[in-house]
Each structure stands twice: as C-alpha cells, then as structure tokens.
Structure 1
C-alpha cells in the first residue's frame, strides 16, 4: 500500500474508533513516541490505541496535510475530547511523523505542546505548573501506569 494511503487509512480508522485497523497498520517492530506516552514498543502501541478508543466517550478526530515521500510521511491531526480525570474539554493539535518498513508504520512520532494540553486538561494546575518537568514527568508516569494497568487487565 502506498504510504500516503496507509496514513489516510490509519486516521480514517481513528475517526471510526476502529482500533483493530489502526493496530494492523503497524510493523511488528514498531515504536511510538509522544509527549505523554513515551517510547512505546509495538505491542504497547497497539494496546494504547485500543485503551484510548475504548475509554473515549466523546472523541472527535480530524486529519489533513497528509504527505509521504519514500519511507517517511507526516500529517497534522486534531482531537477534541473530554479528559476523563478532570471532566475538562481538550482540543489537541498534533503533528505526526512516520517511518515505514514493508508497507507498515515502523516509527510513529506525535508532537504537541504538552503545556498547552495540560492547561486544558488539568485547569489551573496545568496553567501554573504544566510547563515544569515535575508536572510533565507526572503526566508521563500516569500515562505509562494507565497503559500497564490496561495491559494487565486484558
């Protein structure tokens, strides 16, 4: 499959909350990194999408600017949802970059402003301290702990 089409398939599945299709877009040796879920390996990546999509109540996703050249690609995507721990609305704007191998996603890196996210998701504490390594490390550890708990409960 052409890499641009693979990105479009992935995000269309995301819009449809079809985590199985998303999981199948990844290579067996895939890795994922973003400001919250850092340095995930293939199985963790697949389970992360399953966890996020099965727990989301009001998720809306859009994507655009899909590009692919050779073995790399990118797009911009946006997510609107309610952060479950605080009940606060979030609108996150993410830049995704990809490396491909054998027609699948080998490396997936999402970039977004974690302080902006924390201001929305956490409210006053995110506004005042979301820029700090202490709060950002807590966000990382909470995300990793939630994923490990989800994996253990499967």
Structure 2
C-alpha cells in the first residue's frame, strides 16, 4: 500500500514546489502570456473588421459597376435609337429628294415631248400645206390651160367675193 499512497513529506514538498512554480509563473510569465493573447485577439478582431469592410467595399464596387454598366447600356440604347432615327430621316429625305427630282424629270420630259409634238405637227402642217399647194397648182394648170377656163374661174371668184 505504500506504493499507492505517497508519504506526507512528499506531498508537502510537491505542494511547496507547485506553489513556487505558480508564484514564478504569476510573477513573470502570466502577464506576457495574457498580453500576447489580448494582442492576438485584437489583431484577429482588426482582421475581421478589415475583412468585413473589404466585403462591404466590394459590394459597393459591384453595385457601382452594375450601375455604370446599366448607365452605359442606357446610353448605348439612346445612341442606337438616335442613329436609327437619323438614318430613317436621311432615307426619308433621300426618298423625297428622289421623288422631287423624278417629278422634275418627268415634267421636263413632258415639256420636251410636247415641244417635239408641236414641232412635228407644225412640220406635218407645213408639208400638208406644201403638198396642197403643189396639188392645187397642178390642178389649176391642168384646168386653166385655156383662156376661156381662166376667164370663167376669175368670174366665179369675183361672184364669190361680192357675196361674202
């Protein structure tokens, strides 16, 4: 049983050694260990706060990026709409200009055709008049070949003149 139970002198010396070790640790090691733990806790808290701040900052940057992207999309849509409107306006103006120019060309062509028509009609009238004169001359030469025929024609003309 002596092996299981320690003697009272051993217990006292162990108690004195433990108290001395405890006194030395409290006097010299306890404060540096506590200050190191507090320092570590402070650095961990600072790191956590910095991480939260960085996370919030990233969220803000992401929100700003989304806002800028949305504004860029809106601006792009506005630019495209303006460009499409300008293109449509230019096309419409070109169509109107082409229609106006076409109408002018048609009117000019009509005027040229009318002038050509009048010139052709005048030419035909002149030719008909010339042919009529030639035919009349030939007929008169044939009919008025004698003096008696000439005298009868003059008398008929004189009678017609008096009647009119």
TM-score class, shorter-chain normalisation, is: under 0.3
| Larger of the two Rg values belongs to structure | 2
- Normalising by the residue count of structure 2, what TM-score does the alignment of the two structures yield? 0.14
More strand by share: 1
- Normalising by the residue count of structure 1, what TM-score does the alignment of the two structures yield? 0.15
More helix by share: 2
